Amino acid sequence: MSETANGGARTQILNGIRHSLRRGALQGAARQAAEQRLATPPRGPAVARAQLPQPEKVALFCQWAEANNATVARVTAAEVPAEVAAYLTRNNLPATAVMAPAAQLDGYDWSGQKMLALRRGRAEGTDQVSITGAFAGIAETGTLVMASGPDHPVSLNLLPDTHIVVLREGDIVGGYEDVWERLRARYGKNGMPRTVNTITGPSRTGDIEQAMELGAHGPRRMHILVVRD
């Protein structure tokens, strides 16, 4: 469908909503107010527990991530490849993984792990382990934020049973509002990623007899490497 057709369909839908709400066309002061809000979006409420100095934000993120069934390792940049290999060994997982083709992962010496076989690209149904970076970590809840794009296919977050995430300390923020500001600053108003995933620990559900089951709709294991700045 062409961009013009999309715009016409969008206008038709929005006009239908305004009609059902018994509102007229968006114009005059109402239109100016809407445009102003879009140009300078207001911040939502901030949770007090995450308004901390950066070292304490990092500690709070790790605390909540572990509370949400993820495992966390605090490492230096030089230790990242070895920790990935060691985690796979500890959990009796194959030393084979699909890794996001992201520039932020290129700075680590993966070649030093001779037994670790890596493929760059999107995940396939047969992949058991994925390695990605993260756009941000949220101290308030221990949540990871993933922005989709050619350097981070969404399938890496969802298909493999084990998801290993490399997160820099400097990318840990206090709350969700900080993430939206970083997204606008990084991508601009008209260049947002198609998908922004917020992931809090491995996939789990308690729908069946209220018994918690990991890996219901995605990875059953999540290991987060928090890289010291």
User: How do the domains of the chain map onto residue ranges?
Assistant: 3-39, 48-227
- 44-76: pLDDT as tens digits: 887 888 899 999 999 999 999 999 999 999 999
Q: Which residues pair with 120 in a beta bridge?
A: 99
What pLDDT digit, counting tens, does each position of 195-228 carry? 999 999 986 665 566 666 665 666 899 999 999 9
Virtual torsion, Cα 1, 124, 136, 162, nearest 10 deg: 150
Which residues in the chain land under pLDDT 70?
A: 1-7, 26, 203-218
Which tokens hold the place of 4?
A: 């013009």
Residue 197 β-bridge partners? 146
The pLDDT value given to residue 40? 77
3-state secondary structure 178-225: HHHHHHHHHHCCCCCCCCEEEECCCCEECCCCCCCEECCCCCCEEEEE
Report pTM.
0.83
Q: State the pLDDT at residue 15.
A: 82
- The residue written with tokens 């030089």 in the block is 78
Give me the CATH topology for the region 48-227.
Answer: Rossmann fold (3.40.50)
Cα gap 8→156, rounded to integer Å = 35
Secondary structure of the chain in the HEC alphabet?
CCHHHHHHHHHHHHHHHHHHCCCCCCCHHHHHHHHHHHHCCCCCCCCHHHCCCHHHHHHHHHHHHHHCCCEEEEECHHHHHHHHHHHHHHCCCCCEEEECCCHHHCCCCHHHCCCCEEEECCCCCCCCEEEECCCEEECCCCEEEEECECCECCHHHHCCCEEEEEEEHHHEECCHHHHHHHHHHHHCCCCCCCCEEEECCCCEECCCCCCCEECCCCCCEEEEEEECC
Which amino acid appears at position 198 of this protein? T
pLDDT given at position 1: 47
Task: Indicate the residue type of 94.
Answer: P
